[in-house]
């Protein structure tokens, strides 16, 4: 509201300054009837003091006064900001132009010349008062305007300051790598941090004003309504969401929302802070996948993983462990519950293994049986390793239990089947040899009857032919014997029982046995055994068997008229060994045959070896028998000159057990 300049709310106060009392009274008399309130001052100094105390509305100022004159007073008044607007009328006797100029220069608004005309005085006073009123109004208005400007400037400054603070805070928010977004309740973006720009690829100026849901194509794991309800109810929400970047790639974010309410408690804005956890999630997923794969692998392989905490004496098992033991899951599990499940016959050894691993701070392995609730067994193979605490003491043992029931059963089944096969082969060969012997018996019987002449005398040819039959019966019989012998070797039925054996007796016996055969071929048989030869530690029956096979072979492969010899002596380099040699004057064996001659079913197939070869089992049986008596066998041969089969046997020493 603006002041009204023409209405005074009090009688205008007019200060009359004159050193002449008469002049002051005169003016007073003139002004009072006009409704003015005249005040008087007798000097310039008094006047200034009165003005300072209470400023008048107008001053009538005499020029010529002792002390301060009118010009000085005027200059003083006009020089002071608080009094300059008070109109001053100079009253002077000097009616000249020079005096007026001085007065105006000093700041006086008007002049009156003495003697003062009453009418003129009143008009001039009134005019100046009116002017002053306008001046005052103008001043006040200006002041008001200025005040308003000032206050507005202050508001603006405050606002600028706040804006600066906000900008600063926003800059701080920008420092955060999180994507910080402020949006209104209409989902329009109000603030979009630098982190949001980086994460989503949208600049702040592009994002502001748009809806987050549309810009980021948000996907939540729970319904948007539920999230909204949570936000309104609790003032915040926390969860994961999927956002799309500007380039359409998906990011998984951990999102935190906070609701801001206004003074009236109405929802106003939502602050959201989003963290990119895509990589972490991928890592989590990969870890989870890895763990799943591992669990799958251990479950499929039936490998249970366990940990034994020594302090609490409890076990932590994975699911496979409970499967293997057929126990309901229990966490943690008392150690005793495990030991109760172990087969009592196996438990001491398993516990000893565990204790040893702890004692040695190492690892160990054990095989044992687990007894299931139904009384059946599971075969378990366990491997464990101790874990040391920071002081180097064993605090835990971790390990795996593998269910090897199927594997063991398969191995056992395989072994059983192998045994069954061997048994079958054994039974088969026993049966076959038995059945072969029966007709052979009849053949031999009747051939012998014919030869004996019981059925009538044979002529020379008939007799000779029957002898061929007899020789072949002998070979067939030997083959059947060899077949059974090999079967016994392989089924482990052939036992070697070493004892004190006289080599001399064994050699004599073998030579006696084959003397007839040798004589038939005109072969010289001889033996050379030193009288002081130590006793051998061997199985007498088996030694005889070896010697007969070697002699028989030697005779077989030696042409008529040749010689076969047995020689025995103490081995020079190894005095704990006896060496026996069977030498012949046969065709010899080619070097490439070498040791192969001792292989099973090996047959010498050289031209000139016209005689029957047999099954090729004799030397194999020899080698097996020699080896089982702690010796070795080999052959040295020179083609056309003959072969020497040599074997060793241990010398009997009193330390060896003697069979009664």
Partner 1 sequence: MSNRKILIVEDDGDVRLGYHILLNAHHYDTFFTSDSLSAVSGARTHQADLMILDLGLPTGDGFVVLEKFRANADLAAIPIIVVSARDLHGNKERALEAGAKAYLQKPWDDDELLSIIGQLLGQPDLSVAPLG
Binding site for partner 1 (CB under 8 A): 430, 433-435, 437-438, 440-446, 448-449, 452, 454-455, 473, 477, 484, 488, 493
To the nearest whole angstrom, how small is the minimum distance from the Cβ of residue 470 to partner 1?
10
To the nearest whole angstrom, how small is the minimum distance from the Cβ of residue 497 to partner 1?
14
Nearer to partner 1, 271 or 440 (CB): 440
Nearer to partner 1, 54 or 438 (CB): 438
Q: Which residues are registered as beta bridge partners of 29?
A: none
Nearer to partner 1, 299 or 443 (CB): 443
To the nearest whole angstrom, how small is the minimum distance from the Cβ of residue 484 to partner 1?
6
To the nearest whole angstrom, how small is the minimum distance from the Cβ of residue 599 to partner 1?
24
To the nearest whole angstrom, how small is the minimum distance from the Cβ of residue 448 to partner 1?
5
> Which distant-in-sequence residues (6+ apart) come within 8 Å of 291 by Cβ?
none
Give the helix/strand (H/E) hosting 202.
none
To the nearest whole angstrom, how small is the minimum distance from the Cβ of residue 628 to partner 1?
16
Per DSSP bridges, beta strands 110-113 and 88-92 are parallel
Q: Left if phi > 0, otherwise alpha if psi is -120 to 50, otherwise beta: which for 168?
A: alpha
Nearer to partner 1, 210 or 444 (CB): 444
- The token duo for 406 is 């199927």
**In the block, residue with structure tokens 């020699």:** 626
**In the block, residue with structure tokens 């103490």:** 570
Residue 329's SS3 state is: coil
The sheet with strand 179-184 has its strands ordered as 189-192, 179-184, 267-276, 250-261, 236-244, 219-220
Which of 591, 598, 596, 528 has the alpha carbon at shortest distance from 563?
Answer: 528
SS (H, E, C) 429-498: HHHHHHHHHHHHHHHHHHHHHHHHCCCCCCCHHHHHHHHHHHHHHHHHHHHHHHHHHHHHHHHCCCCCCC
Count the alpha carbons within 13 Å of 181 in the hemisphere toward its beta carbon: 32
To the nearest whole angstrom, how small is the minimum distance from the Cβ of residue 439 to partner 1?
8
Nearer to partner 1, 64 or 469 (CB): 469
Reported in sequence order, the residue ranges of 55-211 that DSSP labels E, i.e. its strands, are: 58-62, 88-92, 110-113, 179-184, 189-192
Nearer to partner 1, 147 or 453 (CB): 453
CA distance 601 to 168: 101
- Cβ–Cβ under 8 Å, residues 645 and 635: yes
Nearer to partner 1, 473 or 570 (CB): 473
CA distance 635 to 554: 12
Reported in sequence order, the residue ranges of 185-235 that DSSP labels E, i.e. its strands, are: 189-192, 219-220
To the nearest whole angstrom, how small is the minimum distance from the Cβ of residue 535 to partner 1?
26
Nearer to partner 1, 53 or 438 (CB): 438
CA distance 215 to 196: 12
- The token duo for 419 is 């045994």
Nearer to partner 1, 438 or 459 (CB): 438
Nearer to partner 1, 396 or 444 (CB): 444
CA distance 41 to 39: 7
To the nearest whole angstrom, how small is the minimum distance from the Cβ of residue 431 to partner 1?
10
Count the alpha carbons within 13 Å of 360 in the hemisphere toward its beta carbon: 11
To the nearest whole angstrom, how small is the minimum distance from the Cβ of residue 480 to partner 1?
9
Nearer to partner 1, 37 or 443 (CB): 443
To the nearest whole angstrom, how small is the minimum distance from the Cβ of residue 434 to partner 1?
5
To the nearest whole angstrom, how small is the minimum distance from the Cβ of residue 476 to partner 1?
9
Burial 76-101 (b: 16+ CB within 10 A, else e): bbbeeeebeebbbbbbbebeeeebbe
> Which distant-in-sequence residues (6+ apart) come within 8 Å of 276 by Cβ?
179, 199, 251, 252, 253
Nearer to partner 1, 126 or 437 (CB): 437
Nearer to partner 1, 454 or 610 (CB): 454
To the nearest whole angstrom, how small is the minimum distance from the Cβ of residue 495 to partner 1?
10
Nearer to partner 1, 1 or 442 (CB): 442
- The token duo for 637 is 């041969």
To the nearest whole angstrom, how small is the minimum distance from the Cβ of residue 477 to partner 1?
6
- The token duo for 93 is 């006797």
């Amino acid at each position: 509201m603006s002041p009204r300049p023409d209405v005074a709310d009090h009688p205008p106060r007019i200060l009359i300054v004159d050193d002449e009392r008469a002049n002051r009274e005169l003016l007073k008399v003139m002004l009072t009837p006009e409704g003015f309130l005249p005040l008087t001052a007798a000097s310039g100094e008094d006047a200034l003091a009165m003005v300072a105390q209470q400023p008048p509305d107008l001053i009538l100022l005499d020029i010529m006064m002792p002390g301060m004159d009118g010009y000085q007073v005027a200059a003083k008044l006009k020089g002071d900001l608080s009094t300059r607007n008070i109109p001053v009328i100079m009253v002077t006797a000097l009616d000249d132009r020079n005096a007026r100029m001085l007065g105006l220069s000093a700041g006086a608004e008007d002049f009156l010349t003495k003697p003062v005309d009453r009418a003129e005085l009143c008009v001039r006073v009134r005019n100046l008062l009116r002017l002053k009123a306008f001046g005052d109004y103008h001043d006040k208005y200006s002041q008001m305007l200025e005040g308003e400007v000032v206050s507005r400037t202050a508001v603006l400054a405050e606002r600028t300051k706040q804006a600066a603070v906000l900008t600063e805070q926003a800059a701080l928010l920008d420092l955060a790598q999180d994507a910080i977004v402020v949006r209104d309740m209409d989902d329009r973006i109000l603030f979009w941090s630098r982190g949001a720009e980086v994460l989503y690829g949208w600049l702040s100026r592009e994002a502001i004003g748009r809806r987050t849901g549309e810009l980021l194509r948000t996907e939540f794991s729970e319904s948007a309504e539920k999230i909204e309800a949570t936000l309104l109810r609790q003032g915040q929400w926390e969860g994961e969401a999927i956002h799309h970047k500007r380039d359409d790639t998906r990011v998984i974010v951990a999102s935190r929302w906070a609701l801001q309410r206004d003074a009236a408690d109405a929802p106003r804005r939502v602050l959201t802070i989003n963290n990119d956890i895509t990589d972490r999630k991928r890592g989590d997923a990969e870890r989870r996948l890895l763990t799943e794969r591992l669990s799958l692998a251990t479950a499929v392989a039936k490998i249970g993983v366990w940990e034994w905490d020594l302090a609490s004496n409890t076990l932590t098992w994975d699911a496979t462990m409970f499967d293997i033991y057929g126990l309901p899951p229990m966490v943690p599990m008392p150690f005793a519950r495990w030991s109760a499940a172990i087969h009592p016959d196996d438990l001491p050894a398993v516990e000893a293994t565990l204790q040893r691993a702890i004692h040695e701070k190492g690892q160990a392995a054990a095989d044992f049986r687990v007894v299931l609730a139904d009384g059946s067994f599971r075969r378990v193979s366990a491997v464990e390793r101790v874990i040391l605490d920071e002081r180097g003491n064993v605090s835990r043992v971790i390990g795996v239990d593998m269910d090897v029931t199927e594997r063991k059963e398969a191995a056992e089944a395989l072994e059983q089947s192998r045994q069954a096969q061997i048994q079958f082969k054994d039974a088969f060969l026993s049966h076959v040899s038995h059945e072969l012997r029966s007709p052979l018996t009849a053949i031999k019987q009747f051939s012998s009857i014919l030869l004996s002449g019981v059925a009538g005398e044979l002529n020379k040819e008939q007799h000779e032919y029957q002898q061929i039959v007899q020789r072949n019966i002998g070979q067939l019989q030997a083959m059947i014997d060899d077949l059974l012998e090999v079967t016994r070797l392989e089924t482990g039925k052939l036992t070697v029982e070493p004892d004190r054996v006289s080599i001399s007796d064994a050699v004599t016996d073998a030579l006696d046995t084959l003397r007839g055969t040798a004589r038939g071929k005109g072969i010289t048989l001889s033996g050379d055994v030193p009288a002081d030869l130590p006793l051998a530690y061997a199985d007498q029956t088996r030694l005889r068997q070896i010697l007969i096979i070697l002699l028989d072979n030697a005779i077989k492969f030696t042409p008529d008229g040749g010689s076969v010899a047995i020689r025995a002596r103490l081995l020079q380099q190894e005095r704990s060994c006896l060496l026996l040699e069977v030498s012949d004057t046969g065709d010899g064996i080619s070097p490439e045959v070498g040791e192969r001659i001792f292989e099973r079913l090996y047959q010498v197939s050289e031209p000139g070896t016209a005689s029957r070869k047999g099954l090729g089992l004799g030397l194999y049986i020899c080698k097996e028998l020699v080896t089982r008596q702690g010796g070795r066998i080999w052959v040295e041969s020179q083609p056309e000159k003959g072969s020497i089969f040599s074997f060793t046997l241990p010398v009997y020493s009193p330390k060896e057990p003697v069979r009664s």
